[in-house]
């Protein structure tokens, strides 16, 4: 370490640098450096608060507790970085990206709609009765109640219509 303080130019008593203009210039330079340091500190604080806010918003959109934001590394700043970090470490917090992808890709299906769709496809692919005796005898043998038999033979469950 040197015994000379080279940063303090005020003590230099050279004849050429002793003018008031140089003293004013040095003073203005020091003030500009001080403002620059203050602005840099303010910029850093604004960037850190913006990063914290964006990370918290991303976690809220994924229904992840806000406390997890404190565990996200400081070098992760963009939304894509947060998403990739969640994909890698989300299982620690009970979050899996596959769950959200499955929910988005799998449409919500009404069970009643599924039943009607199955019935419709069966009706469209089934064979209609064409008067075949073997087919009719198989239907008669499959009938278990009188109403079913009346529906096959007469088209209603009460039997033949009396006129």
> pLDDT band for position 16 (50/70/90)?
low
CA 27 centroid distance within chain: 54
Phi-psi domain of 131 (left: phi exceeds 0; alpha: psi -120 through 50; beta: other): left
The pLDDT tens digits for 132-149 are: 788 888 888 888 888 888
Q: What is the reported pLDDT for 14?
A: 53
Q: Give tens-digit pLDDT for 21-56.
A: 899 999 999 999 999 999 999 999 998 888 888 888
pLDDT value of residue 97: 63
User: Which whole number is the average pLDDT over 66-74?
Assistant: 83
Which has more confidence, 49 or 160? Answer: 49
- Calculate the alpha carbon distances from 80 to 66, 84, 85 in Å: 18, 6, 9
How far is the CA of 1 from the CAs of 5, 6, 8, 108, in angstroms? 10, 12, 16, 74
pLDDT in tens, 93-124: 777 765 445 555 556 667 788 878 877 777 67
**pTM (2 decimals)?**
0.43
**Domain residue limits, the chain:** 19-105, 131-163
pLDDT-derived band at 76, boundaries 50, 70, 90? confident
Q: How far apart are CA 150 and CA 147, in angstroms?
A: 5
């Amino acid at each position: 370490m040197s015994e000379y303080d080279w940063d303090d130019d005020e003590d230099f008593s050279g004849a050429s640098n002793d003018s008031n203009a140089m003293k004013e210039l040095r003073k203005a330079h020091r003030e500009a450096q001080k403002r620059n340091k203050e602005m840099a500190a303010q910029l850093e604080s604004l960037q850190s608060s913006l990063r914290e806010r964006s990370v918290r918003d991303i976690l809220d959109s994924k229904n992840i507790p806000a406390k997890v934001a404190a565990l996200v590394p400081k070098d992760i700043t963009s939304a894509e970085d947060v998403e990739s970090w969640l994909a890698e470490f989300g299982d620690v917090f009970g979050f899996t990206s596959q769950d959200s992808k499955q929910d988005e890709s799998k449409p919500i299906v009404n069970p009643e709609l599924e039943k009607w769709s199955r019935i419709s496809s069966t009706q469209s692919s089934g064979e209609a009765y064409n008067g075949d005796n073997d087919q009719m005898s198989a239907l008669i043998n499959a009938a278990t109640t009188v109403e079913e038999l009346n529906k096959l033979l007469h088209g209603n469950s009460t039997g033949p219509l009396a006129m």
